[in-house]
């Protein structure tokens, strides 16, 4: 398992709700935590590891010692709240070394299901609320660079172009990628 990088097409897709979480998928989701910690992340969406499903994981501390902060949200719904949106710096494991300010709601209410299929409802404020919005965006094919103002966009333009060149040079087989996505969708959505 590895983190896919911009501009991989799976990052632009609207992920589909899961109909089932089988043992295999459970194992994959569990494996995503060490991958997230290794890469110094605080959140990781399904499509960032090539899975076209609606779920993400997070741990606002980025520290595997803080198991109590580990969350899995399957088929999540997010409600924004808390008043005036606030700007804060974000990065993304799919956009290595790129950071920019994004305006987000200061508070979210998220509902969904955990890894055991139990319904969950959480309220987050501040930094974890930002993580939820960033990861939930991924599931709708939206990356943080799509939410930048003009100035911030100009700031990251060259770095994005460099990632695009790298992707082109890798000569990815887009047909094979699509076939794999279709198979994964048929399996669990
Ligand atoms: Zn991200």
**pTM, full prediction:** 0.97
Is beta strand 95-104 parallel, antiparallel or unpaired with respect to 86-92?
A: antiparallel
d(CA 132, CA 138): 10
Distance 134 CA to ligand 1 centre (A): 6
- C-alpha of residue 107 to centroid of ligand 1, in Å: 18
For 171: left if phi > 0, alpha if psi spans -120 to 50, otherwise beta; the answer is: left
Question: Rounded to an integer, what distance in angstroms lies between the CA atom of residue 173 and that of residue 132?
Answer: 31
How far is ligand 1, taken at its centre, from the CA of residue 96, in Å?
A: 10
| Catalytic residue IDs | 135
- What pLDDT, on the 0 to 100 scale, is given for residue 62? 97
In 3D, which of 61, 56, 71, 67 has the Cα closest to residue 140? 56
Tell me, in angstroms, the distance from the centre of ligand 1 to residue 135's CA.
Answer: 6
Ligand 1 centroid to 6 CA: how many Å? Answer: 10
pLDDT for 20: 87
Look up the CATH architecture of domain 9-160: Alpha-Beta Complex (3.90)
Per the structure block, which two tokens stand in for 106?
């200061």
Handedness of CA 101, 105, 108, 112 (dihedral sign): negative
Number of alpha carbons in the 13 Å side-chain half-sphere of residue 109: 4
Residue 91 C-alpha to ligand 1 middle, in angstroms?
A: 7
Question: What CA–CA distances, in Å, run from 8 to 57, 109, 110, 112?
Answer: 20, 30, 27, 27
Residues with CB under 5 A from ligand 1 (ion): 92
In this prediction, residue 17 carries a pLDDT of 98
- Show the low-confidence residues of the chain (pLDDT under 70): none
DSSP-H helix ranges across 39-141: 127-139
């Amino acid at each position: 398992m590895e983190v896919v990088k911009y501009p991989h097409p799976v990052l632009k897709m609207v992920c589909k709700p899961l109909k089932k979480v089988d043992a295999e998928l459970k194992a994959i989701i569990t494996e995503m935590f060490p991958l997230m910690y290794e890469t110094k992340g605080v959140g990781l969406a399904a499509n960032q590891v090539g899975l076209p499903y609606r779920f993400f994981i997070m741990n606002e501390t980025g520290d595997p010692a803080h198991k109590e902060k580990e969350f899995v949200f399957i088929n999540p719904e997010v409600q924004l709240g808390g008043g005036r949106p606030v700007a804060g710096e974000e990065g993304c494991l799919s956009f290595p070394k790129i950071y920019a300010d994004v305006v987000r709601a200061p508070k979210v209410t998220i509902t969904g299901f955990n890894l055991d299929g139990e319904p969950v409802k959480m309220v987050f404020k501040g930094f974890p609320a930002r993580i939820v919005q960033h990861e939930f965006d991924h599931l709708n094919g939206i990356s943080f660079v799509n939410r930048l103002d003009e100035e911030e966009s100009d700031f990251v333009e060259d770095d994005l172009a460099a990632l695009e060149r790298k992707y082109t040079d890798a000569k990815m087989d887009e047909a094979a990628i699509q076939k794999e996505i279709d198979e994964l969708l048929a399996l669990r959505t």
